[in-house]
Amino acid sequence: MASTGAEFVVIANRLPVDRDVLADGTVAWRKSPGGLVTALEPVMKSQGGAWIGWHGAPDETLEPFDDDGLHLVPVPLSAQEVEEYYEGFSNATLWPLYHDVVAPPAFRREWWDSYVAVNRRFAERAAEEAAPDAVVWVQDYQLQLVPTMLRDLRPDLRIGFFLHIPFPPTELFQQLPWRRQILEGLLGADLVGFQLPGAAQNFVRLVRQRVGHKTHRDMVYLPDGRGVLAKAYPISIDAQGFEDLARSERVTQRAAEIRASLGNPRKVLLGIDRLDYTKGLRQRIRAFGELIRDGSVDVDDAVFVQVATPSRERVDQYRILRDDIDRLVGRINGDVGKIGQQPIQYLHASYPREEMAALYRAADVMVVTPLRDGMNLVAKEYVACRYDDQGSLVLSEFAGAAAELKQAYLVNPYDINGTKAALLQAMEAGDRENGKRMKAMRKHVMEHDIERWARTFLKELSEVRSHDKNPRPASVS
Ligand code: F6P
């Protein structure tokens, strides 16, 4: 056990830095642009915090290092663990299961064994790093067993957990052969945070039914006197950071350049997503293609820019999706395009924050239509960048963000006709209508930023108390 150590520890599957190999062969680390690190950096710097995570390459053990005031602790994964724990159990079992089974989850016992082993490694590393009575914050579905593993090693710690993706309805969760172990893993935390209240309710109901603990509203009462709070904390973005970027001269110029290079069409529609089957890309592209084909939108008038960031490319479902989208875009452009005018500009690439901000500013209609999404930060980034109170947002009802961005054009992404109607409505909306909707959404996003999210979570984590309820266990079904 560490006698000195970090007062605040973040554990996430990935470290918040990317490795750059410079021209002279030396290695430099670049902070990844994620909102989480932006929000937690001040807390980490002031409290001597540590971040524990995988550095992204297999079969490589790195020593802990400091980068720009952050103490980073790399956790090694073997090539086999990348295949079984990361690509397998995390992204081919849990990911589809937690996203409404939009692709079939695969249940493999050797993947589970690897998930247990890797979770234990993260927990052991955190137990070494954390100072006595430190606060430890575990992130996301890849590490759901860590809270209890860590508590067993270090009962003195205050442990929080936040799930960034949806937590499934009880009927779907029950498919998981290791459902009880996952629930028990999470119950090692004092506070289990979710994106939406419904997810927290699903979790509490499952704990009552499957583990047999007594619960009341958002509290679980454990027989050892510990209370576990399960509650929603909708995550957000560095809203002011995005607005400042969007206002900058460089971004303003780049936005104009982007529109010019698209031929200055009357309307630019934009999608930016990881290339993931939960994002509803097929449905969205089909809807836009049909609008052109049936003459509702003129190919001279509108361009759809779809950025799809490469992701999890060794997982089968992702490979299949990539081929499908390539074919679909090719067919639509081939059928309805003209020389020099491709209605869909498809970019399989990842762009820096600045280019994203320029794209947001260049877009008249932002199209965010996932089939299921924990939150969807792209929707919030678009809103933060539209300081001009213009632009319209077409948003899936099944993204967590829909609970907050109520003035968006909300769609059921499975309903192609409904999506077409919403796209048309968003394209035709006047400045007054756009202004009214965008103002309201901006007020919400600018007030509810990531700093407020982190502060609220950590405050409520510090307030969870033990109980003296002497709970009678509920009967397990
Ligand atoms: O929020 C979902 C999530 O899986 C995060 O945990 C992760 O940082 C992000 O999406 C990107 O996924 P990956 O780390 O698998 O590339």
With a CB cutoff of 8 Å and minimum separation 6, the contacts of 270 are 304, 305, 306, 307, 359, 360, 362, 363, 365, 366, 367
Centre of ligand 1 to C-alpha 142, Å, is 9
pLDDT of residue 245 exceeding 70: yes
Which residue is it, tokens 């995550």?
Answer: 235
The better pLDDT of the pair 32, 430 is held by 430
pLDDT of residue 3 exceeding 70: no
Mean pLDDT of 452-475: 85
pLDDT of residue 6 exceeding 60: yes
With a CB cutoff of 8 Å and minimum separation 6, the contacts of 432 are none
pLDDT tens digit sequence for 220-239: 999 999 999 999 999 999 99
Among 10, 11, 13, say which to mutate for ligand 1: greatest number of ligand atoms within 8 Å of CB. 13
In contact, 192 and 230? CB cutoff 8 Å: yes
Q: pLDDT value at position 401? A: 98
Q: pLDDT value at position 476? A: 66
Residue 188 tokens read as: 């090692």
Nearest to 86 by CA among 61, 54, 62: 54
In contact, 238 and 385? CB cutoff 8 Å: no
Residue 205 tokens read as: 């109901």
User: Which residue's alpha carbon is at the smallest distance from atom 6 of ligand 1?
Assistant: 140
First-to-final CA distance of the chain: 39
- Residue 66 backbone dihedrals phi, psi, to 5 degrees: -105, 140
CA distance 290 to 399: 24
pLDDT of residue 421 exceeding 50: yes
Centre of ligand 1 to C-alpha 121, Å, is 19
Burial class (CB in 10 A: 0-12, 13-18, 19+), 428: exposed
Alpha carbon 149 to its chain's center: 24
Q: pLDDT value at position 474? A: 60
Q: pLDDT value at position 1? A: 44
Per the DSSP assignment, residues forming a β-bridge with 410 are: 395
CA distance 241 to 353: 10
Mean pLDDT of 330-346: 95
Q: pLDDT value at position 412? A: 98
Mean pLDDT of 199-212: 97
- Ligand 1 neighbours, Cβ below 6 Å, are 13-14, 140, 164-165, 311-312
Would you mind telling me the total number of residues written for the chain in this entry?
477
Ligand 1 atom, smallest distance to 141 CA: 6
Ligand 1 atom, smallest distance to 142 CA: 6
CA distance 223 to 470: 7
Ligand 1 atom, smallest distance to 91 CA: 15
How large a percentage of the chain has pLDDT more than 70? 97
Q: pLDDT value at position 30? A: 84
The better pLDDT of the pair 405, 34 is held by 405
The Cα angle at residue 44 between residues 42 and 48, in degrees rounded to 5 = 125
CA distance 229 to 191: 5
pLDDT tens digit sequence for 93-131: 999 999 999 999 999 999 999 999 999 999 999 999 999
pLDDT band at 471 (very low <50, low <70, confident <90, very high): low
pLDDT tens digit sequence for 138-179: 999 999 999 999 999 999 999 999 999 999 999 999 999 999
pLDDT band at 2 (very low <50, low <70, confident <90, very high): very low
Cα separations in angstroms, 270 against 125, 304, 318, 380, 429: 42, 6, 21, 14, 16
pTM score over 0.75: yes
Fill in the amino acid letter for 457: F
CA distance 204 to 227: 12
In contact, 374 and 282? CB cutoff 8 Å: no
Q: In what order do the strands lie in the sheet with 267-274?
A: 344-347, 302-309, 267-274, 365-368, 392-396, 409-411
User: Which residue's alpha carbon is at the smallest distance from atom 15 of ligand 1?
Assistant: 312
Q: pLDDT value at position 477? A: 62
User: Which residue's alpha carbon is at the smallest distance from atom 8 of ligand 1?
Assistant: 14
pLDDT of residue 473 exceeding 70: no
Q: pLDDT value at position 475? A: 62
Nearest to 172 by CA among 106, 96, 97: 97
In contact, 344 and 302? CB cutoff 8 Å: no
Centre of ligand 1 to C-alpha 311, Å, is 9
pLDDT of residue 44 exceeding 90: no
Q: pLDDT value at position 122? A: 98
* CA atoms lying within 13 Å on the CB side of residue 417: 0
Buried b (16+ CB within 10 A) or exposed e, 380-414: bbbbbbbbeeebbbbbbebbbbbebbebbbbbebe
